[in-house]
Structure 1
Amino acid sequence: MQLDLDMLVAIRTAPNHSWMNPAERCMSLLNLALQHVALERNTMDEKFEKAIKNKSSLTAICNLAEYKEGFRAAFSTSINQVIDKINNRFSRMKLKGENIITYKGVKKEEIEDSLDIVCQFVQADHTKLNSSMNSKELHKLKDLKDFIEWHGKSCHYGFQLKKCGNCPYCVLNPIRLDDAVFNKLHFLPDPIPDETGQHYKPFDQLYGMMTNDKHRPSFANVQGLKAEADKINRDVLKSGKSRDVILCSECFKPRCVYSNTKMTREQDGILLCIREEDNYTCGDAFPVDSGLFVRESLSCNSEVEINYYGATMRHFVPPCCIYCGKTEDLLDDVDDYIQNLYTMFSVVRPLCKTCRTAGKEAKTWGKKLFAKRS
């Protein structure tokens, strides 16, 4: 919005394919610039140094800056010398004869200014939209979500936006390209297998078609080594040994965390660090020596585990839709559809209105048997 682009396409590299990304290919080169370099930030006021002493992640430091008055400015001043030194070292490096270009991070004030513009056009309350929100919280803002769904396409590895020409934003910021050129612009298609299933269809055959990313390898239920790992850990991956949950940073579904015994303080700390980093995704494994386990054969396409609804967990986790993991807008027990299912089954798993509207049926268990009348 701030750049008034007619179309935006942002793509990230798939796992194990970073060699295709020039920004990641130069990482080994940048490591050369840091050889024999000692980095040390300037000392802050004693009260700030005490506050930051036990903060072991960037998330923890950012959270501290939100409520500790004066900390943000003090830390920025303290770290500036380090940033300048790294930028200077990197800018002296070359990749294929071209100098590496470095940029400083965007300031919070600039992010807030951009959010002001977003709020004006999506009619969102700026008190609910701020720079400290994570992706899960942003997904809960209906106005913003509706705007993105109307103008964009989002998938696991890409995010695309395109002006529509009809909404208030597009009327105030009309399309700048010639109509003939703009009408030829389409969202980048997702890879789709051909009839053989061994190869993907060519790009020119798919360009202009609406596709989804259900055929990406990580979208399908993971088999092989990860399924084998679950077999090895099957004795611990049981309802009675589920101790906590962690949210996937991609699909936001809750995944059960297991351990053979009640979690120790050290294990609580490990789980807290993983949550703060917000980098857990379905299928990831926990550190081998942590004593914590998750199902590695799950993907973002997998439903919420049945163990999530077990007796061990139900007392401290909220009910969520078994398909998408949402805790809001669930069909309640007085809904006619749910009531009808309870007449036939003992257990009906939670289902949200969105998934029901999409045609999904509630998961049930324990069919009730009725004695035949003589």
Structure 2
Amino acid sequence: MSRKVALSFTVKIVIGEEIKYTNIKNRITEYDAECSWIDVLDSISSFLGPDEVLLPSDQLSVTVSVMSNYQPGDETFTVVLNDPIDIIQKFDPNLKHVTISLKRDVHDSRDSPPSPSQNTQSPTRSGLGILKKGQYVRGVVNCINCTKPRCIFAQKKLSLEEEDSLDKLLKTTEYCCGDPLTGTGNLEGIRVDSSLNCETHIEYTYYASKKAIPDLCCICCRRHARKSPKLLRDFEFVLPACRICEVIEDIPKHSPWKK
């Protein structure tokens, strides 16, 4: 049985000079000791209301501070988000109260997502290339290590017999990012991008295809991801990211709109 760590959480939002406490205050929650702080943030975000977290992601930074008692003036320690949570108790078993600060710049109405009537630009040449390439995605294969879906390309639409052969191939293949996907017989024309690795985000062409799960985070594969409203003002293609990856990662974007 895995070891557990119980922590007491308070989450606050800092906008400019204003501090707003959320409905998460002194909430006691138990986690597996090997969980990272990113896992903790992901679980806590489900308790927050949309008005508390769903503001433009690139305006947001997260600080996780830990103290032994919830008293003003107590010494606090800032954690590294990728660290396992039990690192704090290995350092000092009395550390138990966690304060998560979501710090934003003052909200600007210009950061609101553009309405369809506002976005009248035509697709750029590079954007059309992504859309066209998405038409040749005939299936997806998931990496056994990072679980990211990788596109399977073929010039021609697969027949029912070819789709059946592809399904059988995928059931007998342990695919890892960067591996070639070799088809034989009637599948000789299929291919995957072997230049990808597990650190590479999900491909743009995946989201341009009919095989895509639209709300799949392009970095960690969590569901309920979204596209940054602010980035959509400046780029034709913005990949969806979950609330955690929005904070700690550089969100992939492509094809800036012509000004």
Question: Which TM class, normalised by the smaller chain length?
Answer: 0.3 to 0.5
**Which entry has the higher C-alpha Rg, 1 or 2?**
1
Richer in strand (by share): 2
Q: Which has the higher contact order (CA 8 A, sep 6+)?
A: 2
Richer in helix (by share): 1
